[in-house]
Structure 1
Amino acid sequence: MSFGLYAYAITRDSAIDLIGPSLIRHRGLALVVADVDLDRFTGLELDEPAEDGPLAVLVREHDAVVRAVFEQEPVLPLRFGTVLDGTDAARRLLDARHEEASAWLGRVAGRREWGLRLRTAAREQVDLDQVSGTAYLALRRQRLTAAEDARHAAATVHQTLAQKVAESTRREHVGDVLLEAAYLVDTDAEEDFHAEVRRLTGELGLPAEITGPWPPYSFTRVEFSDA
């Protein structure tokens, strides 16, 4: 076995109750770490389909620790698989990233991430065998117009929500998904945020899926690239 120091997240140097991981403290910051057997990361398949496979287990463990910190203090989740040589390396990196990490912690303090996915409304099934050529072309034009209207509606939802939150980001989406986005919302504004989501999607007739609250995975970019 070979061991390393696995880094989960950066947070403030405070009294955090964690079972398992520990904190390396330096200049007001703390790195959440645990000793890890590096053999667990050998041969992992990034496209592993199994929900109970080795990669999935490790990812859930990572998220569980980040969430445990998130429930107590602002947190900057680190990239999955960040491993350091030891305590001295951790302190050097905290020192090198001190200004950056402190600024990010200030930005996410008192805020939580919420995800929003908008899909196209289900189409009415049509028996094309019973439709004439002219009617088929009209139906196709109608569907193309509806699809364009739905894309504009999703864009309107995102633009409106983005103006009411601290930060927002859109992700790549495929298939019937019109919008895949994340929003960093002040905790005291979450009720208004959800009410606005319901209002907008209801008025526009867009099926919506809301996920969260999450640690600010989509809004922190501190990485130990030289780890």
Structure 2
Amino acid sequence: MTDRGPEPTDDSRTSDDAEAPDDSALYVFAVCCSPATGVLAGLQGVAGGGPLRQMPFGELTAVVQTVRAADFTDEVWQARMSDRAELEEYARAHHQVVSAAAASCPTVPLPLATLYHDEERARQALVAETPRFRTALERTTGRSEWGVKVYAAVLPAAAADAAPRSAAVPAERSRPAPGAGLAYLERKRGLQVEREQRYEESLRLAESVDAAFHGVAAAGRRLRLHGPELAEDGRVQVLNATYLVEEDRITELDRLTRALRDTTGARIEVTGPWVPYSFVGEV
């Protein structure tokens, strides 16, 4: 297990000073301004860990949990990363704690499995990162994250897209009629042109939607597009973005989404509000 904090530290454990399996580590979920008392009540945190608690450092507070170091060695964590069900369980537990803290006060979520060998090392590392935390808090306070996905219309399969099938006809009529091959190629070419035009139109639509959301957002990020295999109906995703929006502009965001759907006919999916994970690392 190594210290996996916001920034690399020089006190990471090596294989020569491996800890015993029952040694503990400190898991840090988030950094907050002033979380309310009892905000963590009823939350378990990650499996096998101790009670969730608040750890003050300077004028800020970290939400932490003591865990078994043996559960977070590099080898164990790499194996966990390949187990989707187990990884989702940890991610869900992490998100629940971060969300509870964020509901109480301005919060900077830390990455999944941010760990330190002990409380003193954690406190030193977090104090050193205080300027970055303050900048992130100033940027995200009073704002939430919203995801926006735009999908292109799928061109229906056309008969012209399939090769002409030979019919059961007499031998003397088994050959295609003159010009049949050329007509088939022209249909194929026309279908390809139509697909390309639709895709280009969808890309232009995505740009206009992105610009419109930037008009109401304090910041935005374009994310990697998902492949069509992730959509049940094979739709093509042309925009995958996330936006940081002021709380008092959420109604405006909703009106904009409905207006864009009505005027463009596009499939636009909006999710949120989320804790602004995507906007705390850009400071």
Q: TM-score, normalised by structure 1?
A: 0.89
Distance across 2 between alignment mates of 1:39 and 1:65:
22
Q: Residues of 1 paired with 2:86 and 2:194: CA distance? A: 47
**Which residue of the other structure, out of 147, 153, 161, is the alignment partner of 2:205?**
153
The answer as to 2:184 corresponding to 1:132 is yes
Take 2:191 and 2:226, find their aligned partners in 1: how far apart are those partners? 23
Q: Tell me the secondary structure at the aligned position of residue 173 of structure 1.
A: coil
Q: Which has the higher contact order (CA 8 A, sep 6+)?
A: 1
Q: Pairwise mapping of residues 49-88 of structure 1 onto structure 2 (< 5 A)?
A: 49=84, 53-88=85-120
Query: Quick one: percent identity of the two aligned structures?
Result: 26
What amino acid sits opposite 1:124 in the alignment?
A: P
TM normalised by structure 2 equals 0.72
Quote how far apart the aligned CAs of 1:25 are.
0.8
| Cα displacement string for residues 32-90 of structure 1 (whole angstroms, at most 9, x for unaligned residues) | 100112333315342434xxx22221111101100111111111111111111222222
- Deviation of residue 167 (structure 1)? 1.0
Higher strand share: 1
2:254 is matched with 194
2:38 equivalent to 1:3 = no
Q: 1:209 pairs with 253, 269, 274, which one?
A: 269
Which protein is bigger by CA-based radius of gyration? 2
What is residue 28 of structure 1 aligned with on the other side? Answer: 59
Q: Number of residues paired by the alignment?
A: 220
Partner of 1:91: 123
SS in 1 for 2:238: strand
- Do the aligned residues in 2 keep the contact of 1:76 with 1:222 (CA within 8 Å)? no
1:129-148 deviation per Cα after TM superposition (whole angstroms, max 9, x unaligned): 46833222112111101101
Correspondence 1:183 to 2:236: no
Aligned mates of 1:202, 1:45 — CA distance in 2: 44
> Could you tell me which amino acid in structure 2 is paired with residue 5 of structure 1?
L
- Mean Cα displacement is larger for which, 118-127 or 23-32? 118-127
What is residue 40 of structure 2 aligned with on the other side? 18
Q: Contact (CA 8 Å) 2:27, 2:114: kept in 1 or not?
A: yes
What stretches of structure 1 of length at least 5 have no aligned partner? none
Question: Using the alignment, how far apart are the partners of 1:222 and 1:61 within structure 2?
Answer: 24
Deviations 1:98-138 (A, max 9, x none): 12211211111111111111111132231234683322211
CA distance 1:4–1:222, shift in 2 (3 Å): farther
